[in-house]
Structure 1
Amino acid sequence: MGSAEYLGFAGGLYPSGKNSPPSAYEQAGIALAATVQALDTDGKQSTSGKIVMISIGMSNASHAFSQFIRLADTDPHKNSRLLMIDAARNGAAATEIALPFGDYWIHVDCELQRCEISTAQVQVVWLKTALAHDSRGFPENARLLQRTLRSIVGILGTKFPQLKLVYVSSRTYGGYSESDLSPEPIAYESAFAVKWLIEERINNSSANRSIPWVSWGPYLWADGLTPRSDGVVWERGDFEPDGVHTSAQGALKEATMLFEFFQKDTAAKHWFFSPMM
């Protein structure tokens, strides 16, 4: 995300137009990540327990996370106690996920039960969602998504008592969309919702906001065929005919970005890799 202003609002993933977190906030995340450990179904430390990471979000999140699981499971350095579960669901917009007793959370419970995992074992979440068919302009659309993400993080903290870390990503490119489902510039603007959510956590480090630690996951947006500084582009073939949902090719690209992110993240090294790494 560029550091330049956008319609009068500061850019950058983090405060002051920067793409890296303030040192104190990053260190808080690293310290909390160091407490992640294998847990049994009662949430107690166990050498035979699991470190559970789940995805929360919409169809594109599900497509990417399922591919991410396959990539990570082929890495011999991945922590053998780490179990990743795709709990994202097709059609799950942010407003649906923000309903604490809605159908989405029944789906999440079913996915955990299918894997014989309890809510007390979930310690890491990757969150990616968006508003559906939103007609508000900027910044109102991003502010609404920010409030909705805040509600979702609150639900996560309630449902998963051992939750430590929440990584949030915004949309991929929406310029190929054939409908009003997150076209541009709405897809780009969704990043401001994530940015502002994290900024309010940074600026208010009271006890009820310090856990879970909320930070950026991989930043996924690129301006179509215009390469980012790291070379990332989004081609038409990365999406299904509707231009919104990622194709197998696009899901693998997103999953690779997710995998590379956790390989490099300073907090993830405490739980993503085997202890000897």
Structure 2
Amino acid sequence: MKKIFKFDSNGLTTVIAMAQIIKLLKISSKARFAFVASLILIVFACNKDREQDREENLVITSPAPLTDFGYGTFRGYTGGLYPNGSNIRPINHNSAGIAIAKSIKPLNISGSTDESNGKIVWMSVGMSNTTQETSAFIPIAQAYSGKNQKLLLVDGAEGGQDIVKINLESAPYWQTVNNRLTAAGVTALQVQIIWYKEAEIAPRDTAFATYPNSLKDKFALSMQMLKSKFPNLKLVYLSSRTYAGWATGTLNPEPYAWYSGWAVKRLIEDQINGVSSLNYTGAQPQSAWLSWGPYFWTEGTKPRDDGVTWGLSDYQTDGVHPSNSGRLKIANMLFEFFSTDPTSTPWFLKQ
């Protein structure tokens, strides 16, 4: 009998053994079938529980996409884009974002609602990769017949302007941003949505224990500055870096590209957890509502769960800046996100 009831990894032995046993019992074939079917369901449910236990105990030992962690941990930290290893926004945070999105209306140059002549301004903020990717995204969005005609897309990113440079109130970067808004016929008071993608030039701290938090603190300062410079800013969508394993220099190689995802994740989690410096409600908000935009990182040509890969041909010769194919890949991911996410469809799509 011990051999009959021996369990293997998927429970199949048990099912077969029990089926053999009930053949010896004088019960109807209908009852026999029902018994075996019930047993199969029970065994599969047990296997599913064991599989989840294995996933919860999974220890990831090398960089992997945050979106692919499942229940795994890296040095004690859960992955996922949001708290508790999830890639889905918490219900309350998502609901708040949808409500804010629905409140967005066209504004005139003075920042007042103007349904007839106003604009809803979306702007990118960041460094060279960001401006190159924005330049590929805007034509795709502009050509889309379902885009909100009141939505104006502005490339506010500039090459060489890393997080350290733009975090200065008087940085020349901000004058460049104002000049671009002026050239587009709008003002800072009309900016309500920002796509933010930043990095640090030639960082030196390679420690996972310290660098992501250091970068997160810089991002937090930047979120406060954005709210100060653009008083009507309501939504900020953040993306971290693409894979940088092809980098040939020290501009921003791995592991910093991967670390930037952790920095964004922790920044957004801070707001979700109620950190006051990132408050987006009340009479004196310190920040806009924050969310992940598209997440780009995966380990080069190794496909992540949704199939995204980064090959050498997606980069320029420095292995950091995107080639035309890399820009188009990012642009399409941006378009897919903004045209489908429940916090962006109210203002991105034609109503």
- TM-score (norm. length: structure 2): 0.76
How far has the Cα of 1:131 moved from its partner?
A: 1.1
Map 1:16-27 → 2, pairs under 5 A:
16-27=84-95
Which letter maps to 2:223?
V
Give the letter aligned to residue 140 of structure 2: L
Aligned sequence identity (%) = 41
* Equivalent residue in structure 2 for 1:85, among 146, 154, 157: 154
Residue 286 (structure 2) pairs with residue 217 (structure 1): no
From 305, 312, 336, the counterpart of 1:260: 336
Structure 2: 5+ residue stretches without partners: 1-65, 281-286
Query: 2:51 maps to what in 1?
Result: none
1:112 equivalent among 175, 178, 181? 181
Query: For 2:259, which of 186, 189, 196 is the aligned residue?
Result: 189
Gaps of 5+ in 1: none
Quick one: distance in 1 between partners of 2:94 and 2:191? 21
CA 1:263–1:143 in 2, change beyond 3 Å: closer, same or farther?
Answer: same
**Structure 1 residues 45, 205: closer, same or farther in 2, change over 3 A?**
farther
Structure 1: distance between partners of 2:339 and 2:229: 27
Residue 34 of structure 1 aligns to a residue whose secondary structure is helix
Partner SS for 1:271: helix
Find out whether 1:102 has 2:178 as its counterpart. no
**Deviation string for 1:197-242 (max 9, x for gaps)?**
0000001175961251000000011110011111110010100000
1:109 Cα deviation from its structure 2 partner: 0.9
User: What is the rounded CA distance, in whole Å, between the counterparts of 2:99 and 2:298 in structure 1?
Assistant: 32
1-structure distance, mates of 2:269, 2:107? 31
Q: Which amino acid aligns with 1:112?
A: L
Q: What residue number does 1:51 align with?
A: 120
Q: Which residue of 2 aligns with 1:15?
A: 83
The secondary structure found in structure 2 opposite 1:215 is strand
User: What is the CA distance between 1:7 and its match in structure 2?
Assistant: 2.4
Matched, 1:138 2:208: yes
| 1:156 to 2:232 alignment | no
Return the letter of the residue paired with 2:305: S
- Residue 8 of structure 1 and its aligned partner are, at CA, apart by 2.3
Alignment-mate amino acid for residue 191 of structure 1: G
Q: Is the CA contact (8 Å cut-off) linking 2:271 and 2:278 kept in structure 1?
A: no
Contact 2:270 2:278 in 1 (8 A): no
Give the residue type in structure 2 aligned to 1:17. G
Deviation at 1:49, TM superposition (A): 0.7
Instruction: Give the match's secondary structure for 1:264.
Output: coil
**Distance in structure 2 (CA, Å) of the matches to 1:133 and 1:125:** 25
The reply on whether 1:28 has 2:96 as its aligned counterpart is yes
For the pair shown, which has the larger CA radius of gyration, 1 or 2? 2
For residues 81-101 of structure 1, the C-alpha deviation after alignment (integer angstroms, 9 at most, x for no partner) is: 000000100011111111121
CA RMSD in angstroms comes to: 1.2
Task: For residue 79 of structure 1, report the CA deviation from its aligned partner.
Answer: 0.3
Task: Provide the C-alpha distance between the structure 1 equivalents of 2:278 and 2:257, rounded to a whole number of angstroms.
Answer: 30
* 2:346 counterpart of 1:270: yes
How far apart in 2 are the matches of 1:215 and 1:266? Answer: 12
Q: How far apart in 2 are the matches of 1:16 and 1:180?
A: 33
Q: 1:264 to 1:8 in 2, by over 3 A?
A: same
CA apart distance, 1:111: 0.8
Aligned partner of residue 234 in structure 1, secondary structure: coil
- 1:58 aligned partner, one-letter code: M
1:245 to 2:321 alignment: yes
Cα distance per residue 1:172-201 (max 9 Å; x no partner)? 000000012221222111101000000000
The alignment status of 1:129 with 2:198, answered yes or no, reads yes
Whole-angstrom CA distance in 2 between matches of 1:20 and 1:182: 28
Q: 1:41 aligns with which of 90, 109, 113?
A: 109
CA distance in 2, matches of 1:145, 1:106: 24
Count of aligned pairs between the two proteins: 275
Moved over 2 A (4+): 205-208
Indicate how the Cα distance of structure 1 residues 266 and 205 shifts in structure 2: closer, same or farther if over 3 A, else same: farther
- Distance in 1, matches of 2:276 and 2:216, equals 19
TM-score, reference length from structure 1: 0.96
Q: Deviations over 1:242-265 (max 9, x none)?
A: 000111111111111111111221
What are the superposed Cα offsets for residues 22-45 of structure 1, whole Å, 9 maximum, x if unpaired? 100100011011111111001111
Q: Is the 8 A contact 2:127 2:157 kept in 1?
A: yes
Q: Which has the higher contact order (CA 8 A, sep 6+)?
A: 1
